[in-house]
């Protein structure tokens, strides 16, 4: 009888732990969305999708999202490992505030600027390399 009670208690504790993990993961996903952390990926997708013929955009977009899923999963795993659930809740609260919303809105603009700056830097490095490769 004691073993049965122990097993039941263990199962209940495991279910509670899984529910807490699911809530933590959901809060991390919410934080990532609110923070605009996927802005660069979304910008890259927008640029690439623009080059695809109109009749193939939906299928391409679906395949593109499938390729991005492991990256997004790694982002989630990072926050689950490096932050506590309480810290993530505080981050969500911040990004739901007026200042947090502004920061999130600006993240897209910053990501666009960063992409352009990275491309410019790449061109400069390529020129520098060709200078020294001769």
Residue 4 lies in a domain: no
What range does the domain containing 55 cover? 23-133
Residue 76 lies in a domain: yes
The per-residue pLDDT for 39 is: 73
Q: How many domains does the chain have?
A: 1
The per-residue pLDDT for 14 is: 45
Measured distance between the N- and C-terminal CA atoms of the chain, rounded to whole angstroms: 82
Residue 11 lies in a domain: no
Residue 123 lies in a domain: yes
Provide the residue-wise pLDDT of the chain in tens; the chain has 134 residues: 555 454 445 454 444 445 568 999 999 999 998 988 777 777 778 888 888 899 988 998 899 889 888 989 999 999 999 999 999 999 999 999 999 999 888 887 887 788 778 888 888 888 888 888 87
Distances (CA, A) of 14 to 22, 43, 94: 12, 40, 31
Residue 6 lies in a domain: no
The pair of three-digit structure tokens given for residue 13, joined into one six-digit string: 């504790």
The per-residue pLDDT for 100 is: 93
Residue 91 lies in a domain: yes
Phi, psi of 53 (to 5 degrees): -55, 145
Residue 30 lies in a domain: yes
The per-residue pLDDT for 13 is: 46
If you write DSSP's letter for every residue of 30-78 in order, what string do you get?
Answer: HHHHHHTTTHHHHHHHHHHHTTS-GGGHHHHHHHHHHHHHHHHHHHHHH
Residue 83 lies in a domain: yes
The per-residue pLDDT for 7 is: 47
The per-residue pLDDT for 75 is: 92
């Amino acid at each position: 009888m004691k073993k049965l009670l122990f097993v039941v208690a263990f199962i209940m504790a495991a279910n509670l732990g899984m529910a807490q993990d699911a809530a933590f993961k959901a809060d991390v996903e919410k934080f990532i969305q609110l923070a605009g952390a996927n802005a660069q990926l979304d910008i890259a997708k927008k640029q690439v999708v623009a080059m695809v013929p109109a009749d193939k955009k939906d299928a391409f977009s679906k395949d593109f999202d499938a390729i991005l899923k492991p990256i997004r999963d790694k982002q989630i795993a990072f926050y689950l490992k490096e932050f506590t659930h309480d810290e993530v809740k505080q981050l969500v609260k911040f990004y739901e505030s007026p200042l947090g919303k502004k920061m999130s809105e600006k993240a897209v603009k910053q990501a666009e600027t960063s992409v352009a700056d990275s491309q410019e830097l790449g061109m400069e490095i390529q020129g520098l390399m060709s200078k020294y490769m001769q």
